[in-house]
Amino acid sequence: MRLNAVERKRDILRAVFFTFIPLLVGGIVYYWLFPEVWFVRFINSRLDLKATDGLSVTDSMFLQFIRNYAFDLLWAFAFANLVCIILSGSLHVKKASLIVPILAGSVLEILQLMGLSSGTFDIWDIFAEGLGTVIAVYTNSC
């Protein structure tokens, strides 16, 4: 199905606001607050930067939530929106936008449980990813 110029522009704006910005904001928050995270250590080693001090996650329940679940929620939100944009115009776009991110997140968590991927298995990560996916699909025009 061929998109007209207005639909193409709308999809580009949706990609920027609902896919790239959540990932960028999540990455910046991780970088500033949680220097022990693999993602931050990787960036610092590649750019030859000094690590930041960050914050102690045990200081606050809110920081624990941000550290443990908010980025999973943002990742799933962005991924679901990306699936929605890629499949726009498809008959089953809403189902795919719900199923694909939740399945991908669940598979990654199971790989962590089996020791085949770095990270620690956490069932609440799957719930956070599911919530991010549902929010994305039902606040977007999938």
- pTM assigned to the model: 0.77
Which two tokens mark 24? 């960028």
In the chain, the number of structural domains is 1
| Whole-angstrom distance, CA of residue 142 vs CA of residue 28 | 28
Which structural domain, as residue segments, surrounds residue 30? 5-139
Q: What are the phi and psi torsion angles at 112 (to 5°)?
A: -65, -40
Report pLDDT for 125: 93
Q: Would you write out the chain's pLDDT as a tens digit for each of its 142 residues?
A: 556 778 778 878 888 888 888 888 888 877 777 777 777 788 888 888 776 665 566 667 887 787 788 888 998 999 999 898 888 777 788 889 999 999 999 999 999 899 998 778 999 999 999 999 999 998 876 7
Report pLDDT for 53: 60
